Amino acid sequence: MKMLRLLIPFFSLAIAAAQPTSQPVPASTLPLREGWALQSSAKVTATGEVIASASFEASDWIQADVPTTVVAAQVKKGLLPDPFFAMNLRQYPGVSYPIGNNFSNVPMPPDSPYAVSWWYRKEFTLPAAYAGKTVWLNFRGINYRANIFLNGKQIANTNDVAGAWRTYEFNVTSAVKPGANALAVQVWAPTEYSLAITFVDWNPAPPDKNMGLWREVYLSNSGPVALRHPTVLSKVDSPANDAAHLTVAALLKNGSDHPVKGTLKGSIENVDFAQPVELAAGESKDVVFKPDQYPHLNLSHPRLWWPAQMGTPNLYDLRLAFEVNGELSDESRTKFGIREITSEVTELPLNRSKRVFKINGKNILIRGGGWTPDMMLRETPERLADELRYVRDLGLNTVRLEGKLETEEFFDIADQQGILVMAGWCCCDFWEHWGNWKDEDFEIAKSSLRDQIYRLRSHPSLVMWLNGSDNPPPPDVEEMYLKTEADLLWPNPVVSSATANRTTVTGGSGVKMTGPYEYVAPSYWSVDASRPSEQQSCSPAGCGGAYGFKTETSMGPAVPPIESVERMVPKDHLWTADGSLDEYWSFHAGGGSFKTMHVFTDALNARYGKAGSAEDFTQKSQLMTYEGVRAMFEAYSRNKYTSTGVIQWMLNNAWPSMIWHLYDYYLRPGGGYFGAKKALQALDPVYGYDDHSVWLVSSQYVDAKGLKLTARVFNLDGTQKFSKDVTLDAAADSTAKVFELPPVDGLSPAYFLDLRITDAGGKLAGSNFYWLSTKPETLDWTGGNWFATPTKSYADYTSLAQLPKVKLNVSSRSERKGSSEDAVTHVTVENPSKTLAFFVRLKLDKGKGGEEILPVVWQDNYISLLPGEKREITATYRASGLGAAKPEIEVSGWNVK
C-alpha cells in the first residue's frame, strides 16, 4: 500500500523529465531553441533564399524561442492580451468563428493575419566537431505545411512537409557550412481540409490554428550511417513470468552516396549481440534481432515492468552502435521495459463486445483520464512532471491521448512512473472525414502513423493504439493503418475506434463511447449497469453505466474553486442579481452541445438549494463534482471485470475551464480530484446507490487478511442511527458485496454514511464518507440524448444548510523532505464540537493572506470530521514555490466558522 501512494518529489520528476531515456540524443546534438525571429509573409518581400542568408536583416521581427506557435510567440511578447482571461480571445484578429464551433472545421477568415504564411528564421554556428560528418536537421513537429531553406538553398517544399503529426529529418550535409549558418522556414496554417490538430468541443482554438514550429528543432551528426528508433519488444511467459523473449529493432539510414557495409552491435546488461548489415546508397533499413536467432535474448527471471499499482516499473538499459570498418558511425543509449500487454474481446448479445486488458498475464481494470496539452501547445518539463505527479497521486493507472501525442519527456516519465498511456487519433475534424480524403491525405495519414509508431513503440507505458476515435476508419484506411503497425512491429493491442462500432476488418472493438458527458445523478452509473443492458438495445439515455470498457465519459461540468473562477471571470461578471451564469462563465464552458452549464446548475440549485453568490455556487459545485466523480469510478471498480475500463473525460484542461477536469488549468485540485482519489484508494469501502449495499474493492495486487469494515449511519444532528462491523479478507484485485444496509427509521432528510476499513493491526486502511437523501433520486431513461440522462426527481440536500457552525482546532508544522526539493506541511485538524464538520477544505498559502501554493499534493481534502475526531493530513509541494514566505494553513468548509 505504501507503493500505491509513493510520494514522488516534484523536483525529482522535473529533473527526470529533462533527461530523456527513449529518444537517443547524443552529445553531438545541437538544439536550435533560442534566438529565432518570426514575421508574417505579408510584411516580408524577400524570397526564402534571401531570408536564409547571413546578410538578411530581421531586426523588426518578433523574437522567440522554439518550439512555439505564432500566436504563442505574440502572447509571450505582450503583443496580444491574455487569452485566458474573460473573453479576451474573442478580441484577437481572426477570431470570428461562432462561439462554441470547432474552428478546425471552419475556414480561416480571408482577412486573418494567419491566412498567409509566416516566416521563422534562425542563425546558428555549426560546431567544429561536425566537420567531416553527416549532418541531419530534425523537426519534431510542423503545423502544417512548410518550405525550408538553409544557407540560400531550398531543402524541402510544401509537398515534402505537410502534416502536423509527422516528424522530419533532412540530410543537410551539403547545405551546412563551417561557422555561421542561416535557416528559414515558411509555415502555412492548416485548413479545414488538413490532418492537423483539433480541440473538438473541449475549448476554443487560437486564431492561427496553432500554426508554426510547435515541436523541437535540432541538428545532429553521425558517420555515413545514422541509427534511429531503437526498440526492444518482449514476450513474457505468463502466468509464471519466469522468462521473457526479446526482439530488438532499429532503423539504419545511409546518408552517403555509396553502399556501406557495417555491423550493428547491441548490449543489454551482460547480453551482447551483433549483426552484419549492408545498405545501398541513401537506403534506410529496419534491422531486427529475433530471439529464435539470438538465444541470448531469451532471458530467465527478468525484472518485469509493471504499472505502479501492480508492481515496480523496472527499466533496462539498451546500447546500440553501428560500426563501419571498425569505426563508430552512430550509437544510441535508451531504456526499455520488459512486459507484455494483451487484450481479450468477448462477444456479447446485440452485436456488442467487451475487451479486458492484461499486463504480464494479470487482469487490469483501466481507470484513467483524458489528457490535453495547453491550448497554444506550450509546455515545460516542470509542468509536465507536476501533472503526471497528480495522475499518480489520484491513483489513476492510465492517461488517454486522443490525438494529442505528447513529447518524448511525457512518455519517459510515464515509463519511469508506471503510468499507462492509451494513444490514438482524434475525432471530429479531417482525421475522420475519410470520404473527402485525396491521395495526398492518404499518404500524409500513413506517414503520420509511421512516424508516431516509430516514436512510441519503444515505450513500455503504451497500453494500446486507437486507429479512430468517434468512428472507426473505413476498410481501406483501417487496413493501411494495420499494415503500417504490423510492419513497424507495434507490440500492443490495436483498437479500431473508441466506440462500439464494428468494422468488417477487425469486428467488435470491445469498447464503448455512449456518454454521458453532461451532469447525471450519482446513482446513474450503478443503476444503469444493473439494468438488463446486455440483453437490450441502448437508448440515447442509457448504457453508459458501469459495464464494459468506457473510453470517455463524465458526470459533466467541474466548476473550479472560487480562486480559479476569479482568474478567468471579471469581477463584475462573477454573479448576477438573479443567480444566473452569464456569457463570461459560458465562454469558459465547452463547445458544441456544452456551451452552457444549465443542466448542472439546475441540479445544483434543486439538490443543495439555490446558490446565493459565486462563492456559494463554487462551494456547492465541489460537493456535486466530488460525489459524481466518486460514484462513476466506484461503480466501475465495484463491477470489475464485468466492467473493464473507464476514462474520465477529462483529466485536465487546455485553458481555464468550467467543465471536464479533475484539476483545473492552474493545477488547483477541487472536489472532483478528491472524489476520484477516494474512489481509487487501494482498499475502498463503497456504497452502492442502486441497492444500498456496502462493498469492499481491492485495487492492490496482494491479499489483505484480517480486515474490519465498519459502517455507521448518522443523522443531521449527529445521532448514530445504525452501526455494523464485519471482519473479512480481501483477495488481490477483488470486489465483494459485504452486506446491504437495512431500512433505518427516523432518518433526517439528509443523512450520512461513514465507512472505514482497518487492517489486522487496527490501522486505518481506507475510508469513505457519503451524504445521502431520504428522497429518492430517479432518472428519466426515455428523455435523454447522447450526452445526458435527465433526472426526474432530485435528491434533497437542502437541510444540510441547518448544520450548526463549527470551530475547528488547527495546527501545523512544516519540514523539508530529506535531500529533495520538496517540502511537507503536516496539518492537524480537530473537531471539538458535538456537530459534524462537513466538507472541510484545507488550503496552503504563501504566508497569511498570500496566494495558494500550487501544485500541491494533499493526502486528503474536502474531508468531514465526526464530533471529537482528529486527523493529521500532509501536503507536499515544491519548496521553491514558497519564496521567502512561510506556509500558512487556511481552513474553510460547509459549516466551518
Residues marked active site are found at: 470, 552
The Cα–Cα gap between 833 and 816 comes to 33
Q: How many CA atoms lie within 13 A of 670 on its CB side?
A: 33
Please give, one letter per residue, the 3-state secondary structure of 765-810: EEEEEEEEECCCCEECCCCCECCECCEEECCCCHHHHHCCCECCEE
Cell of 438: 485525396
**What is the 8-class DSSP label of residue 538?**
P
Cell of 672: 472532483
Map grid coordinates 485566458 to a residue. 84
**Using a CB cutoff of 8 Å and minimum separation of 24, what contacts does 736-743 make?**
736/695, 736/696, 737/688, 737/693, 737/694, 737/695, 738/693, 738/694, 738/695, 738/696, 738/709, 739/693, 739/694, 739/711, 740/691, 740/692, 740/693, 740/694, 741/692, 741/693, 741/694, 741/711, 741/713
Angle at which helices 439-456 and 475-487 pack, to 10 degrees?
30
Task: Identify the bridge partners of residue 402 per DSSP, sorted by sequence position.
Answer: 424
Closest CA to 543 of 556, 555, 532: 532
CA 110, 114, 117, 123: dihedral to nearest 10 degrees?
A: 160
Indicate the helix (H) or strand (E) that contains 618.
Answer: helix 614-638
Indicate the helix (H) or strand (E) that contains 713.
Answer: strand 704-714
Cell of 403: 490525438
Cell of 651: 483529466
Q: Which residues contact 301 (CB under 8 A, 6 or more apart)?
A: 242, 243
CA 843, 846, 848, 849: dihedral to nearest 10 degrees?
A: -80
- Helix, strand, coil percent values for the chain (each to nearest 5): 20, 35, 45
| Residue type at 150 in one-letter notation | L
Cα separation values, 690 from 696, 738, 784, Å = 16, 15, 20
Q: How many CA atoms lie within 13 A of 811 on its CB side?
A: 3
The Cα–Cα gap between 671 and 536 comes to 35
Cα separation values, 813 from 11, 100, 423, 563, Å = 21, 47, 42, 25
DSSP string, 552-606: EE-SSB-PPPHHHHHHHS-GGGS--TTS---HHHHHTS-SGGGS--HHHHHHHHH
The Cα–Cα gap between 13 and 19 comes to 10
The Cα–Cα gap between 124 and 181 comes to 5
Pair 685, 630: CB distance under 8 Å: no
The Cα–Cα gap between 586 and 90 comes to 13
The Cα–Cα gap between 296 and 292 comes to 9
Query: For the chain, first and last CA: distance in Å?
Result: 35
Helix (H, G, I), strand (E, B) or coil at 851: coil
